Amino acid sequence: MEKLIEQLSICIESGKINRNSGYPPQLKGQDGADEIARQALESGIKPSGILEGCMAGMQRIGERFGRNEVFVPELLMAAKAMNTVMEHLKPYFQTGEVKRRGVFVVGTVAGDLHDIGKKLVAMVVEGNGWEVIDLGVDVSTEKFMETVGQKPGCAVGLSALLTTTMVNMEKTVKFIRDKYPQTKILVGGAPVTLNYANQIGADGYAPDPQGAVHLLDRLAS
Amino acid sequence: MAKSNVMTGRERIRAAMALKPVDRIPWLPFVGCHGGALIGKKAGDYLRSADRMAAGAAEAVRRYRPDGLPVAFDLQIEAEALGCSLVWSDENPPAVSSHPLASGRAFSDLRIPAKDEGRIPVVLEASRMMRKAHPDIALYGLITGPFTLAMHLYGTDLFMKMLEDEKSVHDLLAFTRDVGLRMADYYTDAGCDVIAVVDPLTSQIGPDAFQKFVRNPASALFSHIRSSGRQGSFFVCGHAQQNITEMCACKPDNISIDENIPLDYVRDICLENRISFGGNLQLTVVLLLGSPDDARRNAVECLETGGETGFILAPGCDLPYATPPSNIEAIAVMLQDPYQLEIAKALKTGPKTRDLLDMSDYGQTGKVIVDIITLDSEACAPCQYMVESVRQVAPEFEGIVEWREHKIKHADSVQFMTSLMVKNIPTICIDGRIAFVSQIPPRERLIAAIRRRIYEKLQYKIRTRRGEILILGKNDAECDRAMPVLAQALRELGVEMPVTAVTDPGQILSYGVAVTPAVVMVHYKVKAEGNVPAAAIIKEWIKEIQ
């Protein structure tokens, strides 16, 4: 049993999605996260145990990202492998047998159409066990407010890639703060800095997807 | 360096890129859509009109006195010509909103854009107009880097494709390389001096992936640019520190970076590889949101780090549309006026320690001294208001508060300022201590701060003043008769103080006393301890007892 969990966490860390996946080359032809998750459930391992194994893999790849040993492509592959496992665990999330770490509502702020950075954050955060609601690009303050209203206790991630739309970020933070003061808000994007995040009253700034995961873990605890 | 301002901007940039001596550091403000702001046009109207871009460049030349300018700072030109949809906005370059290869278009359908497709003819016409109008300025033709263009075409799945299907990524990057080669030719023919390969998305990959996918296409571009007699610059932005060595291996003439990478790191690697480098003025915090002082200070930091060989001063990336022109002008003026640059450098680093005044005894006179450190209250609005705030409050403390303005245009003021550890202009110091930095204090706060200092001094005075009473008498008997009265006074005040009898006639006369008995009160006041302060300070004390 433990061996399966260990294998699973290695698959997650190395981004091995399924048997057919050619990446990483050293695991070519072997079972991937998809097959091992199925075997684990069939052999009676608790869904929560499977989730823990996956998280251990995600944590290791996250640490390697922090040490500049791997970069966005590898992080995304791990997240993709993780998401195949999540598909297997979906029924257990619905029954409440296993729980996600929380809900993360993410979007690029009004007037800003850049999707790449936000998408990367969404994928990696989801891969780290969060339920992610991706509102897309050019998201109005009202839309953010509406979603936060529907998902009490969620954390919010705002992305802005333009100096001009950073202003809208400030507005969205202020509105969420006023109505839902407990909501944790993190911000990111090329022109955004920690200073700016503090200035507009956000709870934190993340320079990269893994930074967002760390921040969410810290804010949620 | 050689005599200042003897080279043209074009010569200066060419020389710096070749690591040759320059008469001063070249200046390359990246005026992209910001040019629209300079002529009152929205970004969308600006980047679609050759006439407007030429007009914006003319305005930038007039106000910013650049050595080089980009023709257009827009990484969506090739993407648009290749079928990506764009969304336009008023204050930004357009954004790509669809990735054709991710939405069904076959890779084999892609064709290298001809020079009359999309906005390519517009930017080429703008290049020709700028070339004609500004023969002495280096024109930069910006092409979208092969990796970033591939991302425009394919979307974020490209990252995973790099691991799952290397060949298709190589094929795609060979195509985007060919687009770049053609664009470089177009810009070269239109009169550009430098072709900049702008590849910001490489910041998301590591050196291994860079080497595997980007090195060959980028090297081919720079080799081609060089063979056309032009110079090539490699622009990157974001956290791309891990790839600087790899970027050097592509053999560009220059690497330009933003504030996410330390300039000294890039300098060392580039110079080791005999490549020039540029950057990295802070775009948002300083140029967009800061003041002219912030801009100057940041520029001085960059200049000092960049050094004199192979460095080109530039913002980290495209100037934000709404950048206050005064911030860019501040840098332009400073760079081209050796005197201004000297002041800025003096302010940045300050005089050497040995030149600092010992200010530990400053502000020990009976008066409260308010010093206002300014650029010049006649020339700088915040300075003017700060001086004004003190001028209005001073009469409230007539005779107690003395104020002076120190204009840091004068060397002694710079020394004074640095000695007081003042780093920002304008600043108010009260008795040598920094009280208000940059912000003009409201009247009440300034009054309260001065009052606080007056109380402090009163307390200090009481603590440090020591006295003595002399009884002057013809003989001991005469002195003894006066003693009980003095003892009573001291006792009633609860003060301990020595009382000394003086009977020596010569000494009595030295006090100017002719008739005894007489009482002399002596005040001792410690003004300096453990050192002898500067003459300027002692002069203040002497004035006090005159």
Domains A2-95 and A103-220 share a fold: no
CA-based nearest residue in chain A for residue B165: A22
Q: Please indicate if any CB of chain B lies within 8 Å of the CB of A62.
A: no
Q: State the DSSP code for A139.
A: B
All residues at 6 or more sequence positions from B543 whose CB lies less than 8 Å from its CB, including other chains: B365
3.40.50.280, 3.30.1490.20, 3.30.460.80, 1.10.15.40: which CATH number matches A103-220? 3.40.50.280
A81: left (phi over 0), alpha (psi -120 to 50) or beta: alpha
Interatomic CA distance for residues B513 and B519, integer angstroms? 9
Which SS3 state, helix, strand or coil, does residue B511 take?
A: coil
Query: Which chain A residues are closer than 8 Å to B148 by Cβ?
Result: none
List chain B pLDDT tens, one digit each, 546 residues: 444 568 999 999 999 999 999 999 999 999 999 999 999 999 999 999 999 999 999 999 999 999 999 999 999 999 999 999 998 988 889 988 889 999 999 999 999 999 999 999 999 999 999 999 999 999 999 999 999 999 999 988 899 899 989 999 999 999 999 999 999 999 999 999 999 999 988 988 999 999 999 999 999 999 999 999 999 999 998 778 899 999 999 999 999 998 888 999 999 999 999 999 999 998 877 898 889 988 999 999 999 999 999 999 999 889 989 999 999 999 999 998 876 777 777 666 544 444 667 776 677 777 889 999 887 777 666 778 888 889 888 888 888 888 988 887 677 777 788 788 887 778 899 988 889 887 788 888 899 999 988 888 877 766 656 778 889 998 888 888 888 888 888 888 777 788 888 998 888 888 888 888 899 888 777 777 778 888 878 887 887 776
Q: Is B92 on the interface with A (CB under 8 A)?
A: yes
Interface of B with A in 199-218 (CB under 8 A): 201, 204-206, 209
What SS3 state is found at B198? strand
Residues 6+ apart with CB under 8 A from B71: B53, B57, B123, B126, B127, B130, B139, B140, B141, B142, B187, B190, B192
B156: its two tokens: 């974020």
Task: Please give the structure tokens belonging to residue B458.
Answer: 């009163």
**Domain spans, chain A:** 2-95, 103-220
Residue B167, classified by CB atoms within 10 Å of its CB into exposed (0-12), middle (13-18) or buried (19+), is: exposed
User: Are A164 and B159 a contacting pair at CB < 8 A?
Assistant: no
Residue whose C-alpha is closest to residue B306's, from B2, B22, B8, B69:
B22
Which residue in chain A is spatially nearest to B289 when comparing CA positions? A163
| CA B49 vs CA B53, B72, B73, B81: distances in Å | 6, 11, 13, 16
Domain A2-95 in this protein, CATH class: mainly alpha
pLDDT tens string A167-201: 789 999 999 999 999 999 999 987 788 888 888 99
Which residues fall within 8 angstroms of residue A169, CB to CB, at 6 or more apart? A109, A158, A160, A187, A192, A200, A202
Listed in sequence order, the residues at least 6 apart from B197 whose beta carbon sits closer than 8 Å to its beta carbon are B143, B145, B146, B180, B218, B221, B222, B232, B233, B234, B235, B252
How far is C-alpha B451 from the chain's CA centre?
35
CB-count burial class (<10 Å; 0-12, 13-18, 19+) for A2 = exposed
Q: Which two tokens stand for residue B38?
A: 């300079």
Could you give the CA distance from residue B402 to residue B395 in angstroms, rounded to a whole number? Answer: 10
Q: Considering CB atoms only, which of B97, B164, B285 is closest to A193?
A: B285
Q: Which residue bears the tokens 């944590």?
A: A59
The structure tokens 């940039």 sit at: B13
How many angstroms separate the CA of residue B446 from the nearest CA in chain A?
Answer: 26
Output phi, psi for A181, to 5 deg: -60, -20
Q: Which domains does chain B have, with CATH numbers?
A: 9-349 (3.20.20.210), 353-462 (3.40.30.10), 465-532+537-545 (3.40.30)
| CB within 8 Å of chain A, chain B residues 485-504 | none
| β-strand pairing of B194-198 with B231-235 | parallel
> Which of B95, B204, B322 minimises the CB distance to A114?
B95
Give residues with Cβ within 8 angstroms of B135, minimum separation 6.
B10
Is the CB of B284 less than 8 angstroms away from the CB of A191? yes
Tokens of B199: 């590849």
Alpha-carbon torsion B482, B483, B484, B486, what sign? Answer: positive
A74 touches chain B (CB under 8 A): yes
CA distances from A210 to A127, A217, B396 (A): 11, 11, 58
CA–CA gap between residue B70 and residue B87 (Å, rounded): 22
Closest Cα partner for B370 from B390, B398, B341? B390
| CB contact at 8 A, A87 and A81 | no
Report the DSSP pairing between strands B433-437 and B427-430. antiparallel
Is B118 within 8 Å of B83 (Cβ atoms)? no
Q: What is the DSSP letter of B438?
A: S
B160 contacts in chain A (CB < 8 Å)? 73, 76-77, 80
| CA–CA separation, B143 and B101 (whole Å) | 20
Provide the token pair at A82. 């993780």
**Which residues in chain A have Cβ-Cβ distances shorter than 8 Å to B209?**
71, 73
